[in-house]
Amino acid sequence: MSNSTEPRDPTYTPRDATPARRFPVREIVLFGALLAAVLAVYALMGAAYSTRMLVEAACYAILALGLTIQWGYAGQFNAGVMGFVALGGFCAMLFSVPVNDAFWGTELPGELGRVLLYGVAATFLVVGASRLDRLGVPGKLRTLITVLLALVLYLVVISQLREVTNQIQSQAGFVGGFGLPAWVGWIVGGALAGGVGYLIGHVCLGLRSDYLAIATLGIAEIIKAFLKNSDWLTRGTATVSPLPWPTPGPAELGFTLSRAVYLSITAVVIAVIFFLLHRAYHAPWGRMIRAIRDNEVSAAAMGKDINKRRLEIFVLGCILMGLGGGMLGTFNSLFDPQGYLPLNHTFLVLVMVILGGPGNNLGTIFGAVAVYIIWIMSEPLALFLMQLAVSFGEGAFGWDAPNNMDSRALQARVLVIGMLITLVLRFAPKGLLPEKITHHG
């Protein structure tokens, strides 16, 4: 690319040109095209719609930044972005929704607290039992005692919990929220996602890279199953809405302006993340991370604590996903556990990252916004194309189309996302804006 800028003066020879910074043609062209696309959407769909799209794209950009540091910086593949996003959304809901007096005004919080205390006590007992061998109990007997004790105590605690949660559900609906500002929920959501990421990473990061993908895929489905079925905590399929915004809502400022204010918050968050990541990437820490990714063996030979660094980066990525998930949840003003889908919240983010340029923050943000625009626009397009195919089929050979055409048309988007992933991996494995590797020495 560095040759593509033609010098204006034909007699100019780049003899004393410093090789320091090339002119970022590719970046400018791509972001120019992106701007044009955004303007086109504004012109076609109106300001309110388009601003909503931009806010959502910005939230996705935070998710994508989380994935790009995991995959691009460190080569860790997280196949369960959805789970961390859902955790963020849950925390945003839990902290911002008004306090439910039907729950807090009764003896139920005490009951719930009692059961949770039982749980803690049971954990201590089991951990204690697993240390019995220090008192001279033979190893096998200790294991047997520990397992049996764990099973019985688990059954006791879980049946108590079921009782309490059923009572909460029948008497109070659900526990409600804490009535705090949404940003508290975002921060806690990031922390919670980071905590879950720590546990998963702790188990998997020393093992084959595939295992992390399997485990994250699993934890995402489990988080979703938990949120979906814990009606006492999340209202489950009944969903919770509205979620209060930290900024003035549409009722006060109108749709476009309120969304624009929200957008400015997300933009500030992205800018801060971007700046910090940029600093970290070029700091010794970032170099170490990349050294581990590119050559694990020699990095280990130089005495780097590989697993610790890996865990740091994985947790950091998960925190960003939780944060982004929280902002997305608040913006949608709806907490619907069933709305978290691997396609929308894992694979879409994956496409953003690998298409934009894994390891390149600017490329990732470009990928996030560009892919999100395509994604949003593809829905009406898919329906339109399907209608066209149906009318053609009916007209040409009397094809009797099935009646659930709309849901099938949306399946075509699954196909396209899958195709994009495989094609990008094969033909543009470094993405549209590849990570710039600077060689030292």
Partner 1 sequence: MNELVFFINNVIIAGSVTGSIYAIGAIGVTLIFSIMRFAHFAHADMMTFGAFMVLLLTTLFPAAGTSIGVPTALVMLPLAMLLTAVLAVGIDKAFYKPLRAHGVKPIVLVIGSLGVTLMLQGLIRLFSGTGGQSLYVDDRKEIFRLALPFEGARAPIVITEPQLYLFVITLVAVVALHVFLNRSRLGKAMRAMSDNPELAQASGINTNTIVAVTWVIAGGLAAIAGTLLSLDVTFKPDLSFFLLLPIFAAAIVGGVGHPYGAIAGGFVVGFAETLAVFNWNVLLRPFRDSLPTWLELPSNLAFVGTEYKIVVPFFILVAILVWRPTGLFKGKVI
∠ CA 55-416-64, nearest 5°, is 35
Contact positions with partner 1 (CB under 8 A) in 333-362:
342-343, 347, 350, 354
| Residue 5 DSSP label | S
Residues 408 and 402 sit within 8 Å (Cβ to Cβ): yes
Out of 62, 97, 217, 355, the residue judged to bind partner 1 by CB under 8 A: 217
Regarding 148 and contact with partner 1 (CB under 8 A), the answer is: no
CA distances from 268 to 233, 250, 263, 264, 337 (A): 31, 20, 9, 6, 28
Regarding 221 and contact with partner 1 (CB under 8 A), the answer is: yes
Percentages of the chain per state (helix, strand, coil), in multiples of 5: 75, 0, 25
Regarding 268 and contact with partner 1 (CB under 8 A), the answer is: no
Binding mask 223-242 for partner 1 (x = CB under 8 A): --xx-xx-------------
CA distances from 404 to 269, 342, 407 (A): 41, 22, 6
Residues 349 and 67 sit within 8 Å (Cβ to Cβ): yes
Alpha helices in 131-181 (DSSP H): 139-172
Please, what is the minimum distance in Å from the beta carbon of residue 81 to partner 1?
12
Regarding 411 and contact with partner 1 (CB under 8 A), the answer is: yes
CA gap 157, 146 in Å, rounded: 16
Regarding 381 and contact with partner 1 (CB under 8 A), the answer is: no
Exposed e or buried b per residue across 103-130, where buried means at least 16 C-beta atoms within 10 angstroms of its C-beta: beeeebeebbeebeeebeebeeebeebe
Strand partners, 335: 240
Regarding 436 and contact with partner 1 (CB under 8 A), the answer is: no
Q: Choose one: 55-63, 93-101, 102-110, 208-216; the region binding partner 1 (CB under 8 A).
A: 208-216
Please, what is the minimum distance in Å from the beta carbon of residue 183 to partner 1?
32
Out of 203, 272, 276, 388, the residue judged to bind partner 1 by CB under 8 A: 203
> Which CB sits closer to partner 1, 217 or 370?
217
Residues 85 and 340 sit within 8 Å (Cβ to Cβ): yes
Out of 417, 431, 433, 435, the residue judged to bind partner 1 by CB under 8 A: 417
Contact positions with partner 1 (CB under 8 A) in 389-408:
402, 404, 407-408
Out of 77, 118, 178, 198, the residue judged to bind partner 1 by CB under 8 A: 77
Strands (E), 171-258: none
Out of 31, 198, 211, 255, the residue judged to bind partner 1 by CB under 8 A: 211
∠ CA 298-304-309, nearest 5°, is 115
Binding mask 93-132 for partner 1 (x = CB under 8 A): ----------------------------------------
Q: Provide the binding-site residues for partner 1, judged by CB under 8 A.
A: 75, 77, 79, 151, 154-155, 158-159, 162-163, 203-204, 207-211, 213-215, 217-219, 221-222, 225-226, 228-229, 342-343, 347, 350, 354, 402, 404, 407-408, 411-422, 425-426, 429
